[in-house]
């Protein structure tokens, strides 16, 4: 006698089975969410080597979820390489835990003078949705996928067909991201990248912002005004009138009487 299962039991089992299978094989530990994918960033690039054997690319998981990047792709000047097929220089595997850094040998000799480098979750290189991170160095010309990065909103087009770019590294230097944020769909400026000494497998030193000293205004001394002395008015000289002599104005003549002599 064949027992028939209740239709509700069959439906419930069909819903739960895929999830149980995923947990059994460990797939539930890896993130496939687009928002988590954005946390994988290009962290440092050494492209001034003699050949591809001297070059390397460093990517980092800046998020809080574990992500498998083995099926992801790099694109540099319309030349492509799958991440999972590249030799690992620094790191355990292509599964990045939070904060983990992976350094791989590129599939080609990265251009020493001018190039771009894009990181994709798949091989749809024209898609802004597929692009995760991007950087361009040496030239602002349309030499690669700059237009895709602009459409993604993570790079700048300064004028039609002219893109933002990082100056060319010197011999012995690497191109490293040292900004406040990168990835996560945020706009990255060329000033967020710096050329400097290699720091493979390590966190890049973020330069401290040098604050512009606040100028203390110098108090302008008002010139001391010397008051103009008030002129004391000079007393008008009062002329003392010459006293008018009393009496006749004509000279008086003395009258002498003759003396009489006695004989």
12 burial (CB, 10 Å; 0-12 / 13-18 / 19+) is exposed
> Helix or strand or coil: residue 28?
helix
pLDDT of residue 201: 87
pLDDT of residue 178: 82
| Domain residue ranges of the chain, discontinuous segments joined by + | 29-192
Q: Is the dihedral of CA 53, 196, 176, 64 positive or negative?
A: positive
55 phi-psi bin (left φ>0, alpha ψ -120 to 50, beta other): beta
Counting as low any pLDDT under 50, the low residues of the chain are 1-4, 9-10, 12-29, 31-32, 208-216, 218, 246-263
User: Of the candidates 230, 184, 202, 177, which has an alpha carbon nearest to the alpha carbon of residue 44?
Assistant: 177
pLDDT of residue 233: 54
pLDDT of residue 52: 76
Residue 74 φ/ψ, nearest 5 degrees = -105, 150
pLDDT of residue 126: 97
Pair 45, 57: CB distance under 8 Å: yes
Q: Is the pTM of this model over 0.75?
A: no
**pLDDT tens-place string over residues 139-162:** 999 999 999 999 999 999 999 999
DSSP 187-249: ---GGGEEEES--TTSPPPPPPP-PPPPPPPPPPPPPP--PPPPPPPPPPP-PPPPPPPSS-S
Distances 54 to 61, 100, 153 between C-alpha atoms, Å:
24, 22, 32
């Amino acid at each position: 006698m064949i027992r028939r299962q209740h239709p509700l039991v069959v439906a419930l089992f069909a819903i739960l089975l895929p999830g149980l299978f995923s947990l059994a094989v460990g797939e539930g530990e890896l993130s496939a969410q687009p928002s988590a994918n954005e946390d994988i960033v290009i962290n440092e690039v050494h492209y001034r080597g003699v050949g591809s054997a001297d070059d390397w690319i460093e990517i980092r998981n800046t998020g809080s979820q574990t992500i498998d990047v083995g099926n992801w792709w790099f694109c540099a000047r319309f030349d492509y390489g799958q991440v999972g097929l590249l030799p690992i220089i620094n790191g355990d595997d292509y599964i990045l835990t939070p904060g983990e850094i992976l350094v791989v040998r590129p599939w080609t000799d990265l251009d020493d003078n001018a190039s771009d480098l894009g990181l994709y979750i798949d091989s749809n290189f024209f898609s802004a949705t597929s692009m995760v991170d991007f950087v361009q160095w040496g030239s602002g010309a349309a030499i690669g996928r700059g237009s895709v990065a602009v459409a993604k909103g993570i790079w700048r087009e300064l004028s039609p067909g002219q893109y933002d770019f990082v100056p060319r590294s010197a011999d012995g230097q690497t191109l490293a991201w040292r900004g406040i944020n990168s990835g996560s769909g945020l706009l990255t400026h060329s000033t967020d990248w710096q050329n400097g000494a290699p720091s493979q497998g390590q966190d890049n030193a973020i330069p401290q912002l040098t604050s512009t000293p606040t100028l203390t205004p110098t108090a302008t001394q008002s010139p001391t005004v010397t008051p103009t002395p008030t002129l004391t008015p000079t007393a008008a000289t009062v002329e003392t009138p010459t006293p008018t002599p009393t009496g006749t104005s004509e000279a008086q003549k003395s009258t002498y009487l003759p003396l009489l002599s006695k004989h």
